[in-house]
Structure formats: structure tokens, C-alpha cells
């Protein structure tokens, strides 16, 4: 992937994970099995499943883009939960 594609995917991850993090601060948006411990995995999965819809990349780079956003989203989400103190 190009540097520009990577930067766009980074921004996508920050925006998506931050939005999810803010939304789940409100208890009415959490389901009965929600836990902050599982938030990084959930955020990562959400980014991985939606990235190709919102940020098209060449077909030969689909797997690379999905793996990249899964990793970055997990790192961002884990850091936000850590900073929250949970």
C-alpha cells in the first residue's frame, strides 16, 4: 500500500474507534454482555469488516488493508481503554 493509503486507513481507524469509544461511554448503548475488556477486539472486528466499504483499495490489497486496520484499530482501542483506567 502507498503511504497515502496507509494514512487514510490510520485516520479511518482513529475516527471509527474513537466514535465507538465515545458511544459506549453511555450505558444505554451497551448490551448485557458488553465489557471494556472485549472492546478492543470488537472495535478491531468492526473496522476490519467495514474498511473496504468506506475506503476502497485495489482488490489485490484487500487482505493487507483488512489486516492492517484490524491491528491498528485494536491498538487504538486498547490504548483508550487503558487510559480510561478500566
- For 23-62, write each residue's pLDDT tens digit: 999 999 998 999 999 999 999 999 999 988 888 888 999 9
d(CA 41, CA 75): 10
d(CA 47, CA 83): 21
**Over 70: is that where the pLDDT of 68 sits?**
yes
What is the reported pLDDT for 86? 65
**Over 90: is that where the pLDDT of 13 sits?**
yes
Domain ranges of the chain: 3-24+37-84
pTM of the model: 0.91
What is the reported pLDDT for 60? 93
**Over 90: is that where the pLDDT of 21 sits?**
yes
Amino acid at each position: 500500500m502507498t503511504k497515502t493509503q496507509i494514512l487514510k486507513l490510520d485516520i479511518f481507524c482513529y475516527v471509527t474507534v474513537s466514535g465507538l469509544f465515545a458511544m459506549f461511554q453511555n450505558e444505554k448503548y451497551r448490551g448485557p454482555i458488553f465489557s471494556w475488556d472485549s472492546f478492543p477486539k470488537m472495535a478491531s472486528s468492526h473496522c476490519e469488516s467495514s474498511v473496504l466499504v468506506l475506503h476502497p483499495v485495489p482488490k489485490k490489497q484487500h487482505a493487507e488493508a483488512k489486516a492492517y486496520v484490524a491491528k491498528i484499530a485494536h491498538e487504538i482501542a486498547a490504548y483508550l481503554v487503558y487510559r480510561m483506567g478500566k
